Amino acid sequence: MPELPEVETVMRGLAAVLVGAVIERAEVRRPDLRWPLPPGLAARLTGAQVLGFRRRAKYMLMRLSGGDSLLIHLGMSGRMVARARHSPVVIRLEPQGGASDARGHNAPPE
């Protein structure tokens, strides 16, 4: 599990790439994670713009347009994976200058 400096480093790296990006599509592939995901999560995230990031302990909060935040925990691996085959939650982003996928692994909901 990553320590605070690693979480801060990952958060800053994500912010540098994703602030200003719009969530083109969100997909919940496994709703039976450690914490239940809220109903309608994918629809709520779709179309939101990433406004910024902040950290609370080892959790990252991705601030979104509309007043929502997406709570992200890096889990045991300490990383977010782009285009992993078995990701339970998939968020396709349209960042400024190109497309990318951010996939979370068992991150608790807000």
Query: Which residue segment(s) compose the domain that 88 sits in?
Result: 4-104
pLDDT at 63 (0 to 100): 97
Q: How far is residue 97 from each of residues 5, 22, 60, 77, measured CA to CA in Å?
A: 28, 12, 24, 28
Q: Is 3 a catalytic residue?
A: yes
Read off the CATH number of the domain in which 66 is found.
3.20.190.10
Who's near 94: CB < 8 A, 6+ residues apart? 21, 22, 23, 24
Structurally, the chain folds into a number of domains equal to 1
- Model confidence pTM above 0.85: no
Instruction: Give the model's pLDDT for residue 87.
Output: 65
In a domain, 110, yes or no: no
pLDDT of 38 reads 85
> What angle (nearest 5°) sits at the alpha carbon of residue 98, between those of residues 108 and 58?
25
Q: Does residue 85 belong to any structural domain of this protein?
A: yes
Could you tell me the sign of the dihedral formed by the alpha carbons of 46, 73, 77, 38, in that order?
A: negative
Residue 86 forms part of a structural domain:
yes
Query: Does residue 50 fall inside a structural domain?
Result: yes
Q: Is residue 109 one of the residues assigned to a domain?
A: no
Inter-residue contact 48 to 23 (CB < 8 Å): yes
Q: What pLDDT is stored for residue 89 in this prediction? A: 66
Q: For residues 4-20, b (16+ Cβ closer than 10 Å) or e, as one string?
A: eeebeebbeebbebbbe
Q: Which residues of the chain have pLDDT under 70?
A: 81-89, 93-110
Which is catalytic among the residues 2, 6, 8, 95? 2
Alpha-helical runs (H) found in the chain: 4-18, 41-45
